Structure formats: structure tokens, C-alpha cells
Amino acid sequence: MAERLVNQADSTVDEASFRTATSRAYYAAFGESKDYAVRKLGFVAKGLPEDHTSLREQFERSGMHDVAQLLHRLRGWRNTCDYNSTVPVDVGYSINAVAVARKVLQRLKN
């Protein structure tokens, strides 16, 4: 969905769509990362907001610093999009978020 919103970028797509695309890119990366960490790294998700930080910490402890850093960057962008309406968000913001989410997913395949 995030990619579709970004690929439709033209004058008919509004800022809300870019914010949504960025948020969905984060949650795609977060969900896959959480599943990976549960299966391969012994991560125990508690279903709490703290899982976002705990997951990154698990990747750090496991030597997957790049994944932790990419998730941290994506989470910051997602928080901006979801909670800070004073920061303008355009298609470039969403393109970057989708690209970083793809990097996370690719890294989890290796």
C-alpha cells in the first residue's frame, strides 16, 4: 500500500496520502522485523508500545546494527507523519521511507 500511494504521486495525491504511505512503510518493516526477531532471535513481543524500542535493542544485541538504525529512522519519520502536522510531508519523504523499508526487508532475507 505504501508503494502504491507513492507511485500515484501527482497533483491528485495530497499530503495526507504521503503521511499514510510513510506510516505504512514503517509498519511493514516493523511487522516483518518483529516476526523475524521472534523466529530467529528469541524476541518476545509484549504487544506494548515499548516493543518498538525493544525490537531495535534486540537487533543491536544480535549484531544487526543496520536493521536497528533503519527501524529507528523509519520510526522517527512515522512519528513525524502521525503526530506532527507542522512538518510538511511531500512525496520525497514517502519515497525515502519506502526505500528504507525495502532495505530492512532485504536485510532480513540475507
Q: Is the pLDDT of residue 97 over 90?
A: yes
Mean pLDDT of 80-93: 92
Q: Is the pLDDT of residue 4 over 70?
A: no
Query: C-alpha cell of 109?
Result: 532475507
Spatial distance between the Cα atoms of 89 and 76, rounded to a whole number of angstroms? 13
Q: Can you give the pLDDT at residue 110?
A: 74
Sign of CA dihedral 89, 92, 96, 102: positive
Q: Can you give the pLDDT at residue 12?
A: 52
- Its pTM stands at 0.87
CATH class given for the domain over 14-109:
mainly alpha
Mean pLDDT of 41-54: 97
Q: Is the pLDDT of residue 64 over 80?
A: yes
- Residue 13 binned pLDDT confidence (cut-offs 50, 70, 90): low
Residue type, 54: S
